[in-house]
Amino acid sequence: MATERHYSPIDRFLLQADAAMKTLLPVSAHAHRPSPAIVQPDVKMNESDTRHVAGLMRINHTGEVCAQALYQGQALTAKLPQVRKAMEHAAEEEIDHLVWCEQRIHQLGSHTSVLNPLFYGASFGIGAVAGLISDRISLGFVAATEDQVCKHLNEHLEQLPVEDEKSRAILEQMRADEEHHAESAIEAGGFRFPAPVKFGMSLIAKVMTKTTYRI
Protein backbone atom coordinates (compact mmCIF):
# COMPACT_ATOMS: atom_id res chain seq x y z
CA MET A 1 0.00 0.00 0.00
CA ALA A 2 1.36 3.44 -0.92
CA THR A 3 2.29 5.71 1.96
CA GLU A 4 1.97 9.47 2.05
CA ARG A 5 5.22 11.27 1.41
CA HIS A 6 6.39 13.57 4.18
CA TYR A 7 8.06 16.75 2.96
CA SER A 8 10.79 18.56 4.85
CA PRO A 9 10.47 22.32 5.47
CA ILE A 10 12.93 22.92 2.60
CA ASP A 11 10.87 20.70 0.29
CA ARG A 12 7.72 22.62 1.16
CA PHE A 13 9.47 25.95 0.61
CA LEU A 14 10.63 24.85 -2.84
CA LEU A 15 7.14 23.60 -3.71
CA GLN A 16 5.65 26.93 -2.65
CA ALA A 17 8.25 28.84 -4.67
CA ASP A 18 7.46 26.70 -7.72
CA ALA A 19 3.71 27.32 -7.28
CA ALA A 20 4.32 31.06 -6.99
CA MET A 21 6.40 31.15 -10.17
CA LYS A 22 3.77 29.19 -12.11
CA THR A 23 1.09 31.57 -10.87
CA LEU A 24 2.89 34.84 -11.53
CA LEU A 25 4.95 34.19 -14.67
CA PRO A 26 2.98 34.57 -17.94
CA VAL A 27 2.01 31.35 -19.76
CA SER A 28 3.90 29.20 -17.23
CA ALA A 29 0.82 27.48 -15.77
CA HIS A 30 -0.99 24.68 -17.59
CA ALA A 31 -4.70 23.94 -17.31
CA HIS A 32 -5.99 20.44 -16.58
CA ARG A 33 -9.18 21.14 -18.55
CA PRO A 34 -9.58 22.90 -21.90
CA SER A 35 -11.06 26.37 -21.80
CA PRO A 36 -14.87 26.47 -22.21
CA ALA A 37 -14.27 29.33 -24.65
CA ILE A 38 -12.78 27.16 -27.39
CA VAL A 39 -16.17 25.90 -28.57
CA GLN A 40 -17.66 29.40 -28.69
CA PRO A 41 -17.62 31.62 -31.81
CA ASP A 42 -14.95 34.29 -32.13
CA VAL A 43 -16.94 37.53 -32.54
CA LYS A 44 -15.29 40.88 -33.12
CA MET A 45 -16.40 43.57 -30.65
CA ASN A 46 -15.99 47.31 -30.83
CA GLU A 47 -13.00 48.92 -29.12
CA SER A 48 -14.91 50.10 -26.07
CA ASP A 49 -16.47 46.71 -25.35
CA THR A 50 -13.17 44.93 -25.96
CA ARG A 51 -11.38 47.19 -23.49
CA HIS A 52 -14.14 46.73 -20.89
CA VAL A 53 -14.19 42.95 -21.17
CA ALA A 54 -10.39 42.86 -20.94
CA GLY A 55 -10.65 44.84 -17.70
CA LEU A 56 -13.21 42.43 -16.28
CA MET A 57 -11.14 39.41 -17.23
CA ARG A 58 -8.04 41.05 -15.72
CA ILE A 59 -9.94 41.40 -12.42
CA ASN A 60 -10.91 37.73 -12.57
CA HIS A 61 -7.35 36.70 -13.39
CA THR A 62 -6.03 38.59 -10.37
CA GLY A 63 -8.76 36.97 -8.29
CA GLU A 64 -7.41 33.59 -9.35
CA VAL A 65 -3.87 34.70 -8.46
CA CYS A 66 -5.20 35.54 -4.99
CA ALA A 67 -6.99 32.19 -4.79
CA GLN A 68 -3.79 30.33 -5.65
CA ALA A 69 -1.87 32.21 -2.98
CA LEU A 70 -4.63 31.74 -0.41
CA TYR A 71 -4.82 27.98 -0.94
CA GLN A 72 -1.05 27.59 -0.98
CA GLY A 73 -0.71 29.54 2.26
CA GLN A 74 -3.43 27.48 3.91
CA ALA A 75 -1.96 24.20 2.69
CA LEU A 76 1.39 25.20 4.17
CA THR A 77 -0.01 25.66 7.69
CA ALA A 78 -3.00 23.26 7.71
CA LYS A 79 -2.88 20.91 10.67
CA LEU A 80 -4.86 17.96 9.32
CA PRO A 81 -3.49 16.06 6.27
CA GLN A 82 -6.96 15.79 4.70
CA VAL A 83 -7.43 19.57 4.92
CA ARG A 84 -4.03 20.13 3.33
CA LYS A 85 -4.95 17.77 0.49
CA ALA A 86 -8.27 19.54 0.00
CA MET A 87 -6.50 22.89 -0.28
CA GLU A 88 -3.98 21.54 -2.75
CA HIS A 89 -6.75 19.97 -4.87
CA ALA A 90 -8.72 23.23 -4.91
CA ALA A 91 -5.58 25.08 -5.97
CA GLU A 92 -5.19 22.72 -8.92
CA GLU A 93 -8.74 23.48 -10.08
CA GLU A 94 -8.14 27.20 -9.69
CA ILE A 95 -5.15 26.88 -12.04
CA ASP A 96 -7.64 26.15 -14.81
CA HIS A 97 -9.38 29.44 -14.12
CA LEU A 98 -6.09 31.27 -14.05
CA VAL A 99 -5.04 29.92 -17.44
CA TRP A 100 -8.46 30.46 -19.03
CA CYS A 101 -8.56 34.11 -17.94
CA GLU A 102 -5.01 34.74 -19.10
CA GLN A 103 -5.74 33.22 -22.51
CA ARG A 104 -8.86 35.35 -22.92
CA ILE A 105 -7.03 38.52 -21.89
CA HIS A 106 -4.38 37.90 -24.54
CA GLN A 107 -7.06 37.19 -27.14
CA LEU A 108 -8.51 40.60 -26.35
CA GLY A 109 -5.11 42.19 -26.94
CA SER A 110 -4.55 43.18 -23.32
CA HIS A 111 -2.34 42.21 -20.38
CA THR A 112 -2.59 40.78 -16.87
CA SER A 113 -2.25 43.11 -13.88
CA VAL A 114 1.19 44.35 -12.86
CA LEU A 115 -0.10 44.28 -9.26
CA ASN A 116 -0.39 40.48 -9.17
CA PRO A 117 2.81 39.90 -7.12
CA LEU A 118 1.54 42.30 -4.45
CA PHE A 119 -1.85 40.59 -4.21
CA TYR A 120 -0.23 37.15 -4.26
CA GLY A 121 1.98 38.00 -1.29
CA ALA A 122 -0.88 39.49 0.72
CA SER A 123 -3.19 36.55 0.01
CA PHE A 124 -0.52 33.98 0.82
CA GLY A 125 0.03 35.65 4.20
CA ILE A 126 -3.70 35.70 4.96
CA GLY A 127 -4.03 32.03 4.03
CA ALA A 128 -1.06 31.01 6.16
CA VAL A 129 -2.37 32.91 9.19
CA ALA A 130 -5.84 31.39 8.78
CA GLY A 131 -4.29 27.94 8.66
CA LEU A 132 -2.26 28.64 11.80
CA ILE A 133 -5.36 29.69 13.73
CA SER A 134 -7.32 26.52 12.95
CA ASP A 135 -8.40 24.33 10.07
CA ARG A 136 -12.03 25.28 10.76
CA ILE A 137 -11.24 28.97 10.34
CA SER A 138 -9.16 28.20 7.27
CA LEU A 139 -12.00 26.29 5.62
CA GLY A 140 -14.45 29.01 6.61
CA PHE A 141 -12.25 31.60 5.00
CA VAL A 142 -12.30 29.57 1.77
CA ALA A 143 -16.11 29.47 1.82
CA ALA A 144 -16.42 33.20 2.52
CA THR A 145 -13.88 34.05 -0.17
CA GLU A 146 -15.59 31.89 -2.77
CA ASP A 147 -18.92 33.54 -1.92
CA GLN A 148 -17.33 36.92 -2.70
CA VAL A 149 -15.90 35.57 -5.95
CA CYS A 150 -19.31 34.28 -7.05
CA LYS A 151 -20.84 37.71 -6.44
CA HIS A 152 -18.20 39.34 -8.62
CA LEU A 153 -18.71 36.73 -11.33
CA ASN A 154 -22.45 37.38 -11.34
CA GLU A 155 -21.83 41.10 -11.70
CA HIS A 156 -19.38 40.55 -14.54
CA LEU A 157 -21.72 38.19 -16.36
CA GLU A 158 -24.35 40.93 -16.34
CA GLN A 159 -21.86 43.42 -17.80
CA LEU A 160 -20.59 41.26 -20.66
CA PRO A 161 -21.71 42.21 -24.18
CA VAL A 162 -24.34 39.77 -25.40
CA GLU A 163 -22.17 38.63 -28.29
CA ASP A 164 -19.16 37.73 -26.12
CA GLU A 165 -19.94 34.05 -25.64
CA LYS A 166 -16.27 33.17 -25.09
CA SER A 167 -15.90 35.20 -21.90
CA ARG A 168 -19.38 34.16 -20.75
CA ALA A 169 -18.56 30.47 -21.06
CA ILE A 170 -15.40 30.92 -18.98
CA LEU A 171 -17.10 32.90 -16.21
CA GLU A 172 -20.06 30.52 -15.99
CA GLN A 173 -17.78 27.51 -15.53
CA MET A 174 -15.72 29.42 -12.99
CA ARG A 175 -18.87 30.27 -11.03
CA ALA A 176 -19.94 26.62 -10.94
CA ASP A 177 -16.49 25.57 -9.67
CA GLU A 178 -16.34 28.33 -7.04
CA GLU A 179 -19.79 27.44 -5.72
CA HIS A 180 -18.64 23.84 -5.35
CA HIS A 181 -15.49 24.92 -3.48
CA ALA A 182 -17.54 27.00 -1.05
CA GLU A 183 -20.00 24.16 -0.39
CA SER A 184 -17.18 21.64 0.07
CA ALA A 185 -15.39 23.87 2.57
CA ILE A 186 -18.50 24.20 4.73
CA GLU A 187 -19.27 20.47 4.50
CA ALA A 188 -15.69 19.75 5.64
CA GLY A 189 -16.36 21.70 8.84
CA GLY A 190 -15.62 25.26 7.84
CA PHE A 191 -16.71 28.06 10.15
CA ARG A 192 -19.52 30.24 8.79
CA PHE A 193 -18.21 33.79 9.00
CA PRO A 194 -20.64 36.42 10.35
CA ALA A 195 -21.97 39.19 8.09
CA PRO A 196 -19.63 41.94 9.44
CA VAL A 197 -16.56 39.87 8.56
CA LYS A 198 -17.90 39.19 5.07
CA PHE A 199 -18.60 42.90 4.66
CA GLY A 200 -14.99 43.70 5.56
CA MET A 201 -13.81 41.14 3.03
CA SER A 202 -16.00 42.73 0.35
CA LEU A 203 -14.38 46.12 1.00
CA ILE A 204 -10.93 44.61 0.51
CA ALA A 205 -12.14 42.91 -2.67
CA LYS A 206 -13.34 46.26 -4.02
CA VAL A 207 -9.82 47.65 -3.67
CA MET A 208 -8.53 44.79 -5.79
CA THR A 209 -11.20 45.17 -8.47
CA LYS A 210 -10.83 48.94 -8.76
CA THR A 211 -7.06 48.81 -9.16
CA THR A 212 -6.70 45.82 -11.45
CA TYR A 213 -9.44 46.83 -13.90
CA ARG A 214 -6.95 49.18 -15.58
CA ILE A 215 -3.51 48.09 -14.33
- The segments of the chain whose pLDDT lies below 70 read 1-9, 12-13, 15-16
Give the model's pLDDT for residue 50.
97
Give the model's pLDDT for residue 98.
94
Is 73 within the bounds of a domain? Answer: yes
Q: Model confidence over 139-186: pLDDT tens digits? A: 888 888 888 899 999 999 999 999 999 999 999 999 999 998 888 888
- Show the domain range for 118: 44-213
Is 26 within the bounds of a domain? Answer: no
pTM above 0.95, yes or no: no
What is the 8-class DSSP label of residue 163? Answer: T
Give the model's pLDDT for residue 115.
95
Give the model's pLDDT for residue 71.
82
Is 185 within the bounds of a domain? Answer: yes
Give the model's pLDDT for residue 9.
62
Is 7 within the bounds of a domain? Answer: no
Per the rule left: phi > 0, alpha: psi between -120 and 50, beta: everything else, 109 is: left
DSSP structure string for 21-50:
HHHHSTT----SS--GGGGS------HHHH
172 is in an annotated binding site: no
64 is in an annotated binding site: yes
Q: How far apart are CA 87 and CA 50, in angstroms?
A: 34
Is 153 within the bounds of a domain? Answer: yes
Is 165 within the bounds of a domain? Answer: yes
Q: How far apart are CA 85 and CA 1, in angstroms?
A: 18
Is 12 within the bounds of a domain? Answer: no
152 is in an annotated binding site: no
Give the model's pLDDT for residue 7.
62
146 is in an annotated binding site: yes
Number of domains in the chain: 1
Please return the burial class of 96, using the count of CB atoms within 10 Å of its CB with bins 0-12, 13-18 and 19+. Answer: buried
Is 35 within the bounds of a domain? Answer: no
Q: How far apart are CA 76 and CA 128, in angstroms?
A: 7
Which CATH number does the domain housing residue 107 bear? 1.20.1260.10
Answer for the pair 99, 29: CB distance below 8 angstroms, yes or no. Answer: yes
181 is in an annotated binding site: yes
178 is in an annotated binding site: yes
